[in-house]
């Protein structure tokens, strides 16, 4: 079993839709959870960074962490064509500053005008 599982999609939605992206994990030591956005042939860009369980909102993006279920989600409201990218979840036990990040495979999202 992989430490982090993420459905690779692809996921295609109309502009304005609410998008839900998810990851599950098996390592109960993970405490820090991140979502990165990666455009084609570019490096990952940090979108959201959360610690432990709960919700965090930033504009159209909401990150949720449920440690009891080992399940994290990213919601995108009012999706735009510019949101079309691959979304990667990542996590670590002690925080990315001093430790490796473990990534999911990424979910490829297309938002159609």
Partner 1 sequence: DAGVTQSPTHLIKTRGQQVTLRCSPKSGHDTVSWYQQALGQGPQFIFQYYEEEERQRGNFPDRFSGHQFPNYSSELNVNALLLGDSALYLCASSDGRPSYEQYFGPGTRLTVT
Stretch that binds partner 1, among 3-11, 56-64, 68-76, 77-85 (CB under 8 A): 3-11
Stretch that binds partner 1, among 30-38, 54-62, 64-72, 75-83 (CB under 8 A): 30-38
Joined together, the tokens standing for residue 19 give: 């998008």
Given a contact cutoff of 8 angstroms between Cβ atoms, the answer to whether 3 and 103 are in contact is: no
Q: Quick check: 29 binds partner 1 (CB under 8 A)? A: no
Q: Quick check: 6 binds partner 1 (CB under 8 A)? A: yes
Using alpha carbons only, give the angle 45, 59, 50 rounded to the nearest 5 degrees.
60
Distance CA 42, CA 75 (A): 22
Q: How many Cβ atoms from other residues are within 10 Å of residue 1's Cβ?
A: 6
- With CB under 8 A, what is the number of residues at the site for partner 1? 29
Q: Quick check: 103 binds partner 1 (CB under 8 A)? A: yes
Q: In angstroms, what is the minimal distance from the CB of 36 to partner 1?
A: 7
Distance CA 12, CA 105 (A): 17
Please give the residue ranges that form the binding site for partner 1 (CB under 8 A). Answer: 4, 6, 8, 32, 34, 36, 41-46, 49, 51, 88, 90, 94-106
């Amino acid at each position: 079993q992989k430490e982090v599982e993420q459905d690779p999609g692809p996921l295609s939605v109309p502009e304005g839709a609410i998008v839900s992206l998810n990851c599950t994990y098996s390592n109960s030591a993970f405490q820090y959870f991140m979502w990165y956005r990666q455009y084609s042939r570019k490096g990952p860009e940090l979108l959201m960074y959360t610690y432990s369980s709960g919700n965090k909102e930033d504009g159209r993006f909401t990150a949720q962490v449920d440690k009891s279920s080992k399940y994290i989600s990213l919601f995108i409201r009012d999706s735009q064509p510019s949101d079309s990218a691959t979304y990667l979840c990542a996590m670590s036990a002690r925080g990315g500053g001093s430790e490796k990040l473990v990534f999911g495979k990424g979910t490829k999202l297309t938002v159609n005008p």
